[in-house]
Amino acid sequence: MMSTSDLEQLAEIELQKEDEEEKEEDQSCVTDAPSPPHTRITPDPSHPFYDVARHGIIQVSGDDKYGRKLIIFSSCCLPPSHQLNHQRLLDYLKFTLDQYVENDYILVYFHYGLRSSNKPSLKWLRQAYGEFDRKYKKNMKTLYVVHPTNFIRIVWNIFKPLISHKFGRKLTYVNYLEELREHLNYEQLIIPPDVIRHDEKLRAAQKGGPPPSVKTPPPRPPLPTQQFGVSLQYIREKNRDALIPPVISQTVTYLKEKGVRTEGIFRRSARVQLIKDVQKLYNLGKPVNFDEYSDVHVPAVILKTFLRELPEPLLTFRLFPQVQELLGVESSLRVSRCKQMVESLPEHHFIVAKYLLSFLHMVSEESIVNRMSSSNLACVFGVNLLWPRHGSISLTALTPINIFTEILVEHFTTVFGSRCPAAQVTP
């Protein structure tokens, strides 16, 4: 059996070999060339970890298909080791995770671009694993390792004695980006251009595999009963002009009765197959009885999933750039500015938003019991209510989105008016 030092030496040899194989490819995204607009990272210079954050190594990219936060680590964005304090990198990773570890979350690791010149030491990796105590590991549901190489497998063998069997089961190797579509909201992923080019090269070289230019077939037209992935207008037309979509009204009604006082409501995920089954029932126009699932987190996840799969976010594409400017508004004026933005929504979007935010305000009023303050709800719902028309939500863009959503929840009566939509619309 090889010793740990032998494995470490073998890992370094493998990484050097991979360096040589990739030397004809483009340089990693840490070059002097500017990144495309949708991937450029522009954190505020006052950010406590600006020295690390400016590289874009770590990103938060909305939720996956089942309501779990996506944390992305891109190796190709690591600068040469002498230009980065790796202890600061570890502290920044913990700083980022601390905002989300109370929720279920997913970690996506893009391995391409890790080289001898920019890789952290194996000692650093041991320290990182040791510092990630139970609070970080418990709610991490899956670790996707994208484009794994022999180096990854050797490192895994080095760490195997340290890693629990339960944690080991969370590891999933992903050979091609296309495989992520089955599990994640692919369009919202922040993927460095070099990773995309590397993936295209791998697919082109894949024996018998489809060339990169192969297009997916056009989507089938939606069913008349379709609820997920179609517009609010479509749902309204197909449901006798119902002002509130059935998925929203039914989940909210159920959660008002049985979920408002549940600790961590909206923070937990549910079994993936259950969510798929419920979505299928809704899309086929069949009745859904949440009591059958004996899990109040099922309707909670269904509500978030419905919002996330709308072709246009509930708070519309038009509001996204306005919300991004919110940090420049004086704190004392932000509530009135949010009121102006909300009142500019199209009528149907305003009605549905008022109904939903009334409920979230109600949830926040029970925060002593459910631990879901307006700030916590904003962290969960912000990315499900608002996203850009093109590209992904960057870590920088999340802050104003969360502030905006927190104001909508906490100051609901001021922002939306004193009349509760629940009194106007019967769920």
Domains of the chain as residue ranges with CATH: 4-33+42-205 (3.40.525.10), 232-424 (1.10.555.10)
Q: How far apart are CA 327 and CA 404, in angstroms?
A: 9
What b/e readout covers 210-226, taking b as 16+ CB neighbours within 10 angstroms?
A: eeeeeeeeeeeebeeeb
Least confident of 18-32, 76-90, 216-230: 18-32
- HEC profile of 296-337: CHHHHHHHHHHHHCCCCCCCCCCHHHHHHCHHHCCHHHHHHH
Contacts of 35 (CB under 8 A, 6+ apart): 29, 41, 56, 192, 193
Residue 2: count of CB within 10 angstroms of its CB: 12
182: left (phi over 0), alpha (psi -120 to 50) or beta: alpha
pLDDT value of residue 6 = 52
Which is more confident, 274 or 20? 274
Residue with tokens 């009204």: 249
What is the mean pLDDT of the segment spanning 125-147?
Answer: 81
pTM for the full predicted model: 0.68
**Cβ-based burial of 121 (10 A; exposed 0-12, middle 13-18, buried ≥19):** exposed
pLDDT at 122 over 80: no
Condensed to tens digits (0 to 9), the pLDDT of residues 253-292 reads 999 999 999 998 998 888 888 999 999 999 999 999 999 9
Q: Would the CA dihedral through 183, 184, 186, 191 be positive or negative?
A: negative
Quote the tokens at residue 270.
Answer: 């549910």
pLDDT at 156 over 80: no
Which is more confident, 177 or 20? 177
Residue 366 — pLDDT band, cuts 50, 70, 90? very high
Condensed to tens digits (0 to 9), the pLDDT of residues 379-424 reads 889 989 998 887 667 777 888 999 999 999 999 999 998 444 443 4
Residue with tokens 């799969």: 309
Q: How far apart are CA 236 and CA 204, in angstroms?
A: 44
Residue 9 — pLDDT band, cuts 50, 70, 90? low
**Cβ-based burial of 308 (10 A; exposed 0-12, middle 13-18, buried ≥19):** buried
Residue 184 — pLDDT band, cuts 50, 70, 90? confident
**CA terminus-to-terminus distance, the chain:** 65
pLDDT value of residue 356 = 98
What one-letter code names the amino acid at 44?
D
pLDDT at 36 over 60: no
Question: Is 330:219 a contact under the CB 8 Å cutoff?
Answer: no
| Three-state secondary structure call for residue 140 | strand
Q: How far apart are CA 137 and CA 131, in angstroms?
A: 11
Condensed to tens digits (0 to 9), the pLDDT of residues 199-255 reads 988 888 875 555 444 455 566 788 899 999 999 999 999 988 889 999 999 999 999
